Structure 1
Amino acid sequence: MAILKRFRALIGLLLVLGFIYLFNQETAQDAVFLTWDSLVDMMALLPPILMLVGLMDQWIDKEMLMKYMGDDSKFTGIFITLLLGGLAAGPLYIAFPIAIMLLKKGSNIRYVVFFFGVWTIAKLPIVLYEIASFGWGYTIVHVGFGLVFFYIMGIIFERIFDKDELIKQDIT
């Protein structure tokens, strides 16, 4: 029974794929190929990121991280989060192991949510692309509103969720 619980998402997706196959075999085949390509891409990116997160976990002292990204960090936490997320590269799923490490080391939930927002909308390559494609005005409005939104959401999440409970969550 535990194995069914652990793989319930995969089983559900396979059932949906089987249902799609009954009505449109070509679409189901395209979905399988797309899923396979995504898995190959993810397996190429995830191991180096997990090694980097492991090294960061050993190199970054918990007290130092709490000082700069903890409850009393104020603008320093925002600045460090902007650097971490803004200089990042790669898809969003790479940010999750980093976020877990930040939470375990004592980072405030506000800064972890803000980190996801920065990673999503304010990575340097994305900002440069937006400036080239849409201009400065659009980019400033988009990134500015997005960062304010994610910071406010971080404050809301901080009030709703307990950091210790989030760390204890067992997703396996």
Structure 2
Amino acid sequence: MDTYIFYGIAMVFLTISFRKDKGKTRIALKKAWKSFENLLPQLFSVLLIVGLMLSVMNADVISKIIGGDSGLVGVAIAAVVGAITLIPPYVAFPTAAMLLQNGAGYMQIGTFVSALMMVGIATMPVEIKYFGKKMTILRNVCAFIFSFFVGFIIKLVVG
């Protein structure tokens, strides 16, 4: 229901914008469409990978690898996978929800998402270029360690 409300509000503001300046509104809509087109390949590839992963790995396998009973090994696996994976946030959270529904543990998913958002193994070359090798490695190591704390805090909160 909230989605329809937000779409309605967006349409109202789009109409106001269009009435105020048709040219700027058209330019903004073209830019928005270009951004959407640029996101589609990433979104499609991530959804394809997640879909294939969920079709190959059933709930039992996910529970064994990163389930609530997998312990520190499951948390470590989730942290490493999160650290090396490059997934945008708008895909990461639905992916985490799917993994939870298929048997993953909260602590493991908290660690996974935290490492995914904070650790940038895939983006290290760019980061090294701007911040230097020492700072990049220090930041990534600290973020990786912190992702474990996030997982443990989520375990304490959720139970």
Give the TM-score normalised by the residue count of structure 2. Answer: 0.75
Structure 1: distance between partners of 2:87 and 2:60: 28
Deviations 1:118-151 (A, max 9, x none): 2223232222322232123322332233334443
1:142–1:6 distance in 2 versus 1, CA, 3 Å: same
| Structure 2 residue runs without a partner (length 5+) | none
Provide closer, same or farther for how the CA distance between residues 29 and 141 of structure 1 changes in structure 2, counting only shifts above 3 A: farther
2:126 to 103, 125, 129: 129
2:74–2:108 contact (8 Å) kept in structure 1: yes
Match of 1:11 in 2: 8
RMSD value over aligned CA atoms? Answer: 3.0
Tell me how far 1:59 sits from its aligned partner.
1.0
Tell me the amino acid that sits aligned with residue 51 of structure 2.
Answer: G
SS of match in other structure, 2:37? helix
Aligned to 1:85: 82
**What is the aligned-residue identity percentage?**
23
Is contact 1:110-1:154 (8 Å) kept? Answer: yes
Select 2:106's aligned residue among 106, 109, 118: 109
What is the one-letter code of the residue matched to 1:15?
V
Distance 1:135 1:112, change over 3 A: same
Q: 1:124 to 1:147 in 2, by over 3 A?
A: closer
Specify every segment of 5 or more residues in structure 1 that has no aligned partner in the other structure, as ranges: 163-172
State the distance in 2 between where 1:136 and 1:112 align: 29
Please tell me whether residue 59 in structure 1 is matched to residue 56 in structure 2. yes
Indicate whether 1:69 and 2:66 are aligned: yes
